Structure 1
Amino acid sequence: MFIRIVKMTFHEDKIEDFLTNFHQVKEKIRNTTGNSLLELYQDKNNPCIFFTYSYWNEEQDLENYRNSDLFKEVWSYTKTLFKDKPEAWSVDKKVSLE
């Protein structure tokens, strides 16, 4: 399993547009083959900054999603709302304490 972290900075007047769209597609993203968790975070100090954390069983699962019509639709809309270039990381979980 690995985690994909995406940082997105939106124009302030586009935050509600992003959230509306995210809530419409979040279940579809979460139910993509190989996805085991999807979370959305908003920065406490800068409300224009959001992070998605998605957990994937295999790297190929993420690649399949990134090549899907769903991703193309979601990303083509989302990127029109950005204030800054998004950043993304793929990381392996090393330790988790609950």
Structure 2
Amino acid sequence: MLVRIVKMSFSENSINNFLNTFESNKNKIKNFKGCQLLELYRDKKDPTIFFTYSYWDSESDLEQYRQSELFKTVWSQTKPLFNAKPEAWSVDKIESLK
């Protein structure tokens, strides 16, 4: 299982635009081939910082998403809203306790 973590920072006046974009596209992303989970988090201390966690069956599934029209559309709407360069990590899930 591949986990993709993306940290994004927005100016305060762009947050609603970001949240609207996420709301409009979250089910499309979650239903993309190979996506098992999509989560959105907001930093407790800095409400302008958000994280997405997405779980993918494989690196190739994530790459297919990143090359898709869906990603290009979402990213083109989100990218202008950033107030800092986004950071992203692809990590292997080793263990999960519930």
Match of 1:21 in 2: 21
The one-letter code matched in structure 2 to 1:45 is K
Aligned pairs for 1:1-98 (under 5 A) are 1-98=1-98
CA positional deviation for 1:94: 1.1
Determine what percentage of the aligned residue pairs are the same residue. Answer: 62
Runs of 4+ in 1 over 2 A off after TM superposition: none
The one-letter code matched in structure 1 to 2:69 is D
With normalisation by structure 2, the TM-score equals 0.99
Unaligned runs of 5+ in 2: none
The one-letter code matched in structure 2 to 1:46 is D
With normalisation by structure 1, the TM-score equals 0.99
Question: Would you say how many aligned residue pairs link Structure 1 and Structure 2?
Answer: 98
The one-letter code matched in structure 1 to 2:93 is K
Q: CA RMSD in A?
A: 0.4
